[in-house]
Amino acid sequence: MTNKKIYPWVVVGLLWFVALLNYMDRQMLSTMREAMMIDIHELEAAANFGRLMAIFLWIYGLMSPVAGMIADKLNRKWLITGSLFVWSAVTFLMSYCTSFEQLYVLRAIMGISEALYIPAGLALIADFHEGKTRSLAVGIHMTGLYVGQALGGFGATIAGGYSWQSTFHFFGLIGIIYSLILIAFLREKKTHSLAPIPNNKKIKVPVFKGLIVLLSNISFWVILLYFATPSLPGWATKNWLPTLFAGSLDIPMEQAGPLSTITIAAASFIGVIFGGILSDRWVQRNLRGRVYTGAIGLALTIPALFLLGFGENIVSVLGGAIFFGVGFGMFDANNMPILCQFVPPRYRATGYGLMNMTGVFAGAFITNILGKSTDAGNLGRDFAMLAVGVAVALVLQLIFLRPKTINMNDDNLQT
C-alpha cells in the first residue's frame, strides 16, 4: 500500500468512491420529491422544493473558498474522511425527517460538509501525481462524480421499490462505513518545502495569505474566467438538458431524462480519460500541452451547444450531447493540472475552492435564466447562445495562459 508507484493510484481509487458518494448523495433528493411529499406535505409546493435545492447550492458555493483555505492548512486525510462522515450522517438522518424544517437544516449542513471535499481531494491527488500522470489521475477521479450523478438519478426508482426513508438510510450508512475504511488506508502527502527556520522558531502564516497570492496573480484571474464560463453550459446540461431533449425530440420526460443524462455521462467519461492521457503526454513535449488539451475540449463544446440548441432530430441532438460530453470531459480533466502549473502546492486547495465557488454561482445564475427561457419558449436558442461565452473564454485562455513549468512550486514562485 505504500509503494511509491502503486500508492498514488490507490489514492485515486479510494477517492473515486468518495467522489461518487459526493454527487450521488446530493442528487438523490432531486428525484424523490413525489415520494417524499406524501409524508412531508410542504414539498407539494414547488417553491419549497426549490428552496431546499437552493440552500445547498448557495452554502456549497460560499463555503468552497473557505474549504480550500482549510485544506491548505490542515491534514487533508482527516478533512476528507471527516467531511465524508458528516455528509453521510446527514443523508442517514434525512431518513428520519418528518418536517420541511428538518430537511432544510440538514440540507444546509450537507452543503458545508460536501464543499470541504473537492478542494482537498483534488489537491491530494495532484500532490501524489506530478507530471506524467496528473491529468489522467484527475480525470479518472472526475468519472466518480459523473457516475455518482447518474446513480443519484435512480433515487426515485429505489424509493419506489422500497421507500424514500430506506433510500437515505441505506446510502448514508454506506458512506459512514466507507469513511472508516478511509481512515485505515488513506494517508497525507506533505509537499510544502519550507526553508529552514533559525532557532526552531515557528512562523505564523496569515490566514488570508493564500487569497492575496492568488488574487494578485493575473493568470489565476484568467483561470477563474476560463473555469466559470464553461460552467454556464455545464450546469445548464445538468439541470435543463432533459427538458431540452423532451421539447426538441417531442418525447416524454420518462425517456428524455435517462437518454440525456446517460449520454452526457458516457461521453464525459470518454472525454476525461482521453483528455487526461493526451494532456499528460503533450505536456512532456510542450509546457502548454495541458492548456491546448483543455482548449480542444472547449472548442468541441461550441458546435455541440448549437446542435443541442437548434437541433430538431435525434441525430443532431444526440450528436450535440456526445460532442459536449467529450469536450467538457477533456476540459474537466485539466482544470486542476493547469492550476498546478501556476499555483504552488500550499495554495492549490484555496485556488480550486475559489474556482468551485465561481462555477457554482455561475450554475445558480444560468439555472434561473434558463428557467425563464423555458417559460418563454426560448430554451433552445438561449442554450445555443452560451457558445459565445465559451468562445471568448477559449480565446483568452490561449492568449494569456503561458505556463513556465509543469509543476509550480515555491522556488518557481519566487523567481
Contacts of 254 (CB under 8 A, 6+ apart): none
Pair 254, 309: CB distance under 8 Å: no
The answer to whether residue 253 scores a pLDDT higher than 80 is no
For residue 251, give the DSSP letter. Answer: -
State pLDDT tens for residues 336-368. 999 999 999 889 989 999 998 999 888 888 877
Identify which has the larger pLDDT, 126 or 367: 126
Using one digit for the tens of pLDDT, what is the confidence trace for 296-309? 999 999 999 999 99
Per-residue pLDDT for 183 more than 90? yes
Please report the DSSP string for 366-382 in residue order.
HHHHHHHHHHHT-HHHH
Amino acid 358: pLDDT: 92
Considering 136-140, 229-233, 255-259, 297-301, the range whose residues carry the highest mean pLDDT is: 297-301
> Which candidate, 127, 154, 152, 122, places its Cα nearest to that of 138?
122
CA atoms within 13 A on the CB side of 275: 37
- The whole-number pLDDT of residue 208 equals 75
Q: Are 300 and 394 in contact (CB under 8 A)?
A: no
On whether the pTM is more than 0.75, the answer is: yes
pLDDT at 255 > cutoff 80: no
Percent over 70 (pLDDT), the chain: 92
DSSP states along 16-34: HHHHHHHHHHHHHHHH-HH
- The pLDDT, as a whole number, for residue 46 is 67
Q: How many CB atoms lie within 10 A of CB 216?
A: 9
pLDDT digits (tens, 9 = 90+) for 10-34: 999 999 999 999 988 887 887 677 7
Whether 94 has a pLDDT exceeding 90, the answer reads yes
Task: Please determine, for residue 41, whether its predicted confidence score (pLDDT) is greater than 60.
Answer: yes
Looking at residue 313, what DSSP letter applies? S
At 308, list the grid cell. 443541442
- Is 197's pLDDT higher than 50? no
* 3-class SS letters over 43-90: HHCHHHHHHHHHHHHHHHHHHHHHHHHHHHHCCHHHHHHHHHHHHHHH
Average pLDDT over residues 158-184: 91
Tell me: the pLDDT tens digits for 48-67? 777 787 788 889 989 999 99
Residues 140-164: pLDDT tens digits? 999 998 888 778 767 777 777 888 8
* Residue with cell string 437552493: 54
Closest CA to 142 of 267, 272, 237, 293: 272
**12-16, 197-201, 242-246, 344-348: which has the highest mean pLDDT?**
12-16
